[in-house]
Amino acid sequence: MQCTKPPSRTKSEEELYNAQRKKVTSLNAKFLGLEGDGDLQFLLTGGDLLKVRSSSWKKTRYFKLQDDCKTLWYESQRTFFKSNPAFSIEDISAVRPGRQSEGLQKYTEEQVGPRCFSIIFKGRRKNLDLIASSEEEARRWVVGLEKVITSTKGLDRQVKTEHWIFNCMRKADKNVDDKLTQKELKDLLLFMNMEVEDDYAEILFKQCDASKSGYLSGAEIERFYELLTQRPEIDIIYSEYARTTGLMSAADLQQFLVQEQREEATLADAHALIDKYEPDEKVKEKKLLSKDGFLIYLNHPESVVLSPTHATLYQDMSQPLSHYFISSSHNTYLLEDQLKGPSSTEAYIRALLLGCRCVELDCWDGSDGEPVIYHGYTLTSKILFKDAIQAIHEYAFKTSEYPVILSLENHCSVEQQQVMAQHMSSILGPALLTQPLGDTMPTCFPSPEDLKRRFIIKGKRLNKLEAAFSPEAAADTADYDAVSEDSEDDEKEEAEEEERKKNKKKLKLAKELSDMVVYCKSVHFNGFADARDNLSFYEMSSFKEGKALELAEESANCYIHHNVDKLSRIYPAGSRTDSSNYNPVPFWNAGCQIVALNFQTRCADMSLNQGRFLVNGRSGYVLKPSYLRDAASEFDPITLTRGPWLKHKNLHIMVISGQQLPKVKAKKTSIVDPVVRVEVQGVPADVAVKETACIDNNGFNPAWNESFTFEVHVPELALVRFVVEDYDSASDNEFVGQYTLPFSSLQMGYRHVPLLDQNGDLLPSSGLFVHVMVVDA
């Protein structure tokens, strides 16, 4: 969005312009439920803030919320007439008061802390670090922005759509006269990702131009809006069940819920939905549901394709830790690639806020006796170990209360290992687990419930855990293999071997650090028989993706048995220098719990991970199916012998339509040609892909009405993924949006599918409308 020098106006034109702006602002505030709100008014008035980029770059910028109540615009006082940057409220991930960001901690003094705040963006965009003129002004900015963000998130899909179309209309009305010419109408359609032939645009215009004036105004614009928001597919469904004077009675709605949505709904449930969703009070008094109310119901989060029961914490959390899939990150400290990308505490914060429960810390000796974290033998930047621990401590339990595993890749000297132990002890305090739970030596893992809000250290240990219950004291230090079990590739192993030869000795492990390793002692894997006979439950191995895939394909049942009472961590091959990811599904199929991915790299593999952990309250822990928790299980995902895991289903999906798909190019005339791909990921027998035809030049309201059938043999391990792409006959299609969820979490019937962008963030107003049916094969 660009702000340029306003055109010169007469006094009367200026008064009219200001009145229209006031009206627009009022309507947008009403959309957000913030009409007359003082904090919103503060943002709309705006003010000067000091923008901080470095110790030498601190410049004053004027910030202001625009009339659409969703765009924050700022300018330099010296470049008033130049184009200035702006960003959407929907691009903001969080607003953090004080000196919480790396930039503010590094480039400002502690005394300005109360006047500081940071705007944290979704994706890879850098934080916006700001200083207000007073503590009260900083508070007003933070409170106001948080209020608008919360209100925007709280809008249902229908209101978001109305808000979006209204503001598209304002953009198209170039001369701000509350009238739309035929040219402006065509521009509006382009804004909305829809290209039509001139003849059709003229027909549409004439349909609405009842006054024959050559422009649309007042009721004519309302008529045009009605045509835009018309959903023919909803009309058909509604008319099928609206049998009471053209409206839905409670009995009609109950029949729809039972027959189409496959819900066990009572007449009382139908009455409750009418009370909740019917916007017309007169219709509500008659216990009826209008078409508008029906559409509001279909757009509500409870009615989307993800079961609302599964969206909350619904699983048993009292089983041993090894019985759960655990959301896990690799090279958590990196924001980009692992050769020269920046390391940042922000990367830990982002992963933890996404529900990640196992983070990695690559620890090396730093200057001034302070250990640092970075990707060894590369050009990645470094962060202080203590800063990473501080960030982890602050953000570990904001999304989930369940335990966080700190996976230490330790390359430090004894002295700096002792510093590491000291930092973890002082910063994490009593939340750091340093002894087994209970008074006796455990024989299995505690549960996530037992370990709520606790930190678990994964790393090397000098002795067996049983020594914690023995009166004999262990040695202060001991030699251990300098090549970690997590070494990522041959080149790194060779570099570490050279380092070891140069020092002419093995690295030593500090007792202080060793004693902090309780339930996750890192050991080398020497085969399933050796692990069964010689390893305790708390001794765990890490597997490079290639080795793990070999085991998962050739010895799947043995791997499953191994993972019943022991933890396995999988990590990407070191050859993935771009921090790309592998497909995590084969490892989940073999019962592996800690399948670590590069969270900084958003891709199809990360979307599968996000879909796996979308459920169970986004706690980062998902209970494995019973046959992956049974030491006598005969399940093998490759051969698929008969057993309780075989629950052969037919999944029928009809892709009906799409709504407000985003452009993939910023150019106004660039319109998407959307195509939808539906994928099933799971055991090899269930993997399948089906694709619709593409719809030319329509990202606003494309309609496909195409049906697909999938055979699913092991539904508890299957994921369903909806992908929308912009079709290109000459090159690869471009990504538009996707949504992934577990097969067992699908709601049947007519459902909206929300869409997420490449970063995994929700695309406002965008979605698919589908019909889902699951039947026994």
Residue 486 is encoded by which pair of tokens? 């997590």
Partnered with residue 249 across adjacent β-strands are 288
648 is catalytic: no
Transcribe 62-82 into DSSP letters: EEEE-TTSSEEEEEEGGGTTS
User: Which helix (H) or strand (E) is 723 found in, with range?
Assistant: strand 719-726
Q: Is 409 annotated as a binding residue?
A: yes
Which residue has tokens 């994921």?
A: 719
Q: Is 403 helix (H, G, I), strand (E, B) or coil?
A: coil
Rounded Cα distance between 522 and 486, Å, is 9
Rounded Cα distance between 605 and 360, Å, is 19
Specify the amino acid at residue 633: S
Q: Is 162 annotated as a binding residue?
A: no
Transcribe 215-277 into DSSP letters: EE-THHHHHHHHHHH--HHHHHHHHHH--BTTBEEHHHHHHHHHHTS-----HHHHHHHHHHH
Contact 167, 175 (CB under 8 A): no
Rounded Cα distance between 766 and 125, Å, is 22
Q: Is 11 annotated as a binding residue?
A: no
Tell me, what DSSP letter sits at residue 614? S
Q: Is 322 annotated as a binding residue?
A: no
Rounded Cα distance between 357 and 318, Å, is 17
User: Which helix (H) or strand (E) is 474 found in, with range?
Assistant: none
- Residue 492's contacts (CB-CB under 8 Å, 6 or more residues apart) are 376, 377, 574
Contact 90, 99 (CB under 8 A): no
- Residue 686's contacts (CB-CB under 8 Å, 6 or more residues apart) are 680, 710, 711, 712, 713, 714, 717, 718
Q: Is 153 annotated as a binding residue?
A: no
Contact 419, 369 (CB under 8 A): yes
Specify the amino acid at residue 689: V
Residue 707 is encoded by which pair of tokens? 């049906």
User: Which residue among the candidates 163, 310, 323, 330 is catalytic per the annotation?
Assistant: 330
Characterise 33 by phi-psi region: left (phi > 0), alpha (psi -120 to 50), beta (else).
left
Rounded Cα distance between 367 and 634, Å, is 54
User: Which residue among the candidates 163, 310, 323, 375 is catalytic per the annotation?
Assistant: 375
Q: Is 460 helix (H, G, I), strand (E, B) or coil?
A: coil
Contact 627, 644 (CB under 8 A): yes
Contact 417, 462 (CB under 8 A): no
Q: Is 476 annotated as a binding residue?
A: no
375 is catalytic: yes
How far does the chain reach from its first CA to its final CA, in angstroms? 52
Angle at the Cα of 466 from the Cα atoms of 464 and 472, rounded to 5 degrees: 90
Angle at the Cα of 287 from the Cα atoms of 284 and 291, rounded to 5 degrees: 65
Residue 88 is encoded by which pair of tokens? 């959407």
Q: Is 671 annotated as a binding residue?
A: yes
Rounded Cα distance between 272 and 249, Å, is 12
Q: Is 581 annotated as a binding residue?
A: no
Helices (H) and strands (E) in the chain, counts: 24, 32
Residue 496 is encoded by which pair of tokens? 């570490």
Q: Is 533 annotated as a binding residue?
A: no
Contact 664, 734 (CB under 8 A): yes
Q: Is 458 annotated as a binding residue?
A: yes
Q: Is 460 annotated as a binding residue?
A: yes
Based on its alpha-carbon atoms, the radius of gyration of the chain, rounded to whole angstroms, reads 29
Contact 139, 113 (CB under 8 A): no
494 HSE (CA, 13 A, CB side): 4
Q: Is 324 annotated as a binding residue?
A: no
Binding-site residues for Ca(2+), in ranges, read 331, 360, 362, 409, 671, 673, 697, 726-728
Binding-site residues for substrate, in ranges, read 458, 460, 542, 569
Catalytic positions are 330, 375
Binding-site residues, in ranges, read 331, 360, 362, 409, 458, 460, 542, 569, 671, 673, 697, 726-728
